[in-house]
Chains A and B, each alone.
Chain A
Amino acid sequence: MKMVGEFFRNIFKNRMMLLMVLPGALWFLFFSYLPMLGTVIAFKEYRFDRDGFWASIVNSKWVGWQNFKFLFSTNDAFIITRNTLLYNIVFIFLGLVFSVLLAVILSEITNKRLSKIYQTGMFLPYFLSWVIVGYFTFSFLSSDRGLLNGLFNSLGIPPVQWYSESKYWPLILVLVYLWKAVGYNSVVYLASIMGIDRSLYEAAMIDGASKIQQIRAITLPLLKPIITIMTLLAIGKIFYADFGLFYQVPRNSGTLYGVTNVIDTYVYRGLKTTGEIGMSAAAGLYQSVVGFTLVMASNYIVRKYDKDNALF
């Protein structure tokens, strides 16, 4: 009884805050948590029932882990997991380094007008869909009409069949990813830098600190919270791959699968004919659980060393 009373007292004490989270919490409830009930189809052989979705779920047969098997049953399982993980690790790491670097550079450029123009330019790739980025890379890499082979030709280097030589693709994919993502991501860091109290820099300058020293001693440490959180969030998505990047950009070329096949493309190709929603739900669940485990583990580590920057 006392506990109940205390509970209500706490609720009352936090009423303003609770009111503030209410709209968002309701949204999560409706748009995220309620649909999660549907995850059970990962363990079902889904069949339609004329009384709608929930009836279909109830009436479909339980199949246990059957729907997950296709993710692990062949040699491809290793390749797609490796590719997904390695690419994402590289993306997280290089993406972070370049975005922060770029944000620092942009914040330091004396001419604000130029800085703005640069930034607007860097933002453009974000607007182009992967299909169009695919066209564009093709205009570079096409073996007979491409710009690169044209250049090679005039330099006397033998042309390369880009779309059938897998050894170049890890580099190409990383470059294309960075090109598309860095400008966009640097906005977050730039905004953070701009939130830093200017008086800190002034004090440092009075002490005679060089620009590099200022960046190292003030900018980067103060960026740490946002860097930590962005990285933690990215780790949660480490088992998801950007479908367009790995499908459209290499033009779905079979000979490149060794280095371009990732979990998302594998699932897409595998389920194209059968369209089993149970199996795609299973793949999604697998990606979620791994991401969840990883992010909980890293959050635990962060929490141990730096409680303020942990996610929760």
Chain B
Amino acid sequence: MSQRKKKERDFHNLSTPMNITFNLIAGIFAILCVFPFLFVVIISLTDEGTLAKNGYRLIPEQWSLGAYRYVFEMGDTLLRSYGVTIFVTVVGTIISLLFMSFYAYAISRKSFRYRNFFSFFAFFTMLFNGGLVPTYIIVTQFMGLKDTIWALILPLAVNAFYIMILRTFYATSVPEAIIESGKIDGAGEFRIFIKLVPPLSLPGLATIGLFSTLGYWNDWFNALLYIDNPNLVPLQSMLMRIETSLQFILQNAQNSSLGLEAMRSIPQDTSRMAMVVLATLPIIFAYPFFQRYFIQGLTIGAVKE
């Protein structure tokens, strides 16, 4: 461990001015990125009346926890949505990592005779999709997934884009030589994949794992399509429903003259921002978990030893 530390220090022999410049660039950009989110947090903590009077302000005249109180009044609905989202994210990420790393590993191997065919098979789906209605029919009528939790998991399980990235990771960071040496030791293809490959491609797997985690966490569209049961609605979908319904009602308020009645059910600005905060915070805390794998830098050298 101490040896590793030393190595790292050696490796980063950046000159001080350069180091400062790099820190400045990264720091300023990071602040620019964090700022809007802080703004959202501030709005969620602003008193509703003050917001209506003064508009969005960095330092509101009057702070309030009212928005969160409102959101928490939903109580078990909110908790259940958290539960659905977490379950879907965890199970979904595991399944998709399995499916995709198998697939990507196979098509990254030069010894696989059909690698070009299967690469194309995956790639083609990135560009051509059948559209909403046919997909809907396959999922609901062929597979009978409507109103089940699997309708939130399976449609996102595989993504050709990620497979392609993962394939490149395998091709560049897992040298054929290691696999060949594994073969000589008598390990089967499967064993090689399970034993040798993951440590070598950890940054790659972590990246794709992160992407699919985010994909599942942020998904709302599948719930819109396939879920009628209010108990199976994930967090983002709840949030999105409120947003789209708000916009829809505003657009039609005049036309239908019914706007007033429909408007009642829409939460206030501050509550919506509070929901954004609540839907985002947990996943931000999950981020460092993935980050470990590509910041610490598990080097190939380490594995070789």
Contacts and interface: CB of A to CB of B under 8 A. Distances in A.
Contact, chains A and B (beta carbon distance below 8 A): yes
Interface of A: 10, 13-14, 16-21, 23-25, 27-28, 30-39, 41, 52-53, 102, 105-106, 108-112, 114-129, 131-133, 135-136, 139, 145, 179, 182-183, 187-188, 190-192, 194-195, 197-199, 201-202, 205, 211, 222, 225-226, 229-230, 233, 236-237, 277, 280-281, 284-285, 288, 291-292, 295, 308, 311-312
B297 A312 contact: no
A205 B163 contact: no
Nearest to B280: A127
B9 to A, nearest CB: 8
B288 to A, nearest CB: 7
B10 A205 contact: yes
Contacts of B109: 17
10 contacts: A14-B114, A17-B111, A30-B138, A109-B22, A115-B295, A117-B30, A124-B37, A132-B40, A188-B207, A225-B168
Contact of B103 (A20, A38, A128, A136): A20
Given A52-B141, A233-B164, 19 more contacts: A16-B188, A17-B106, A17-B112, A23-B103, A24-B122, A35-B134, A52-B137, A108-B12, A109-B22, A115-B295, A124-B37, A127-B283, A128-B276, A135-B56, A139-B55, A182-B29, A191-B204, A291-B127, A312-B116
B62 interface: no
Interface stretch (B65-73, B78-86, B154-162, B252-260): B154-162
Contact of A226 (B98, B123, B128, B169): B169
Interface residues of B, number: 109
Given A17-B189, A20-B103, A114-B23, A122 B33 contact: yes
Q: Considering residues B11, B163, B188, which has the most beta carbons from chain A within 10 angstroms of its beta carbon?
A: B11
B23 to A, nearest CB: 6
B287 A53 contact: no
Given A120-B287, A139-B56, A288-B127, A202 B12 contact: no
B125 A28 contact: yes
Interface of B: 7, 10-15, 18-19, 22-23, 25-27, 29-34, 36-37, 39-40, 55-56, 98-100, 102-103, 105-107, 109, 111-114, 116, 118-123, 125-135, 137-139, 141-143, 154-155, 157-158, 160-161, 163-165, 167-169, 171-173, 188-190, 193, 201, 203-204, 206-207, 210, 214, 218, 240, 243, 247, 276, 280, 283-284, 287-288, 291, 293-301
Contacts of B26: 102, 105-106, 109, 115, 118, 122
Nearest to A248: B247
B241 to A, nearest CB: 12
4 nearest interchain CB pairs? A35-B130, A38-B134, A121-B30, A24-B103
Contacts of B106: 17-18, 20-21
Q: Considering residues B102, B122, B138, B295, which has the most beta carbons from chain A within 10 angstroms of its beta carbon?
A: B295
Given A118-B26, A205-B13, A129 B288 contact: no
B12 A24 contact: no
Q: Considering residues B19, B116, B131, B139, which has the most beta carbons from chain A within 10 angstroms of its beta carbon?
A: B131
A30 B299 CA distance: 38
A28 B160 CA distance: 9
Contacts of A126: 214
A110 B9 CA distance: 8
A27 B33 contact: no
Contacts of A110: 12, 14, 19
Contacts of B112: 14, 17
Contacts of B12: 108, 110
A312 to B, nearest CB: 4
Nearest to B246: A131
Nearest to A227: B168
A183 B29 CA distance: 9
A233 B126 contact: yes
B292 to A, nearest CB: 9
A120 B130 contact: no
Given A194-B294, A197-B300, A225 B118 contact: no
Contact of A187 (B103, B155, B157, B294): B294
A214 B305 CA distance: 24
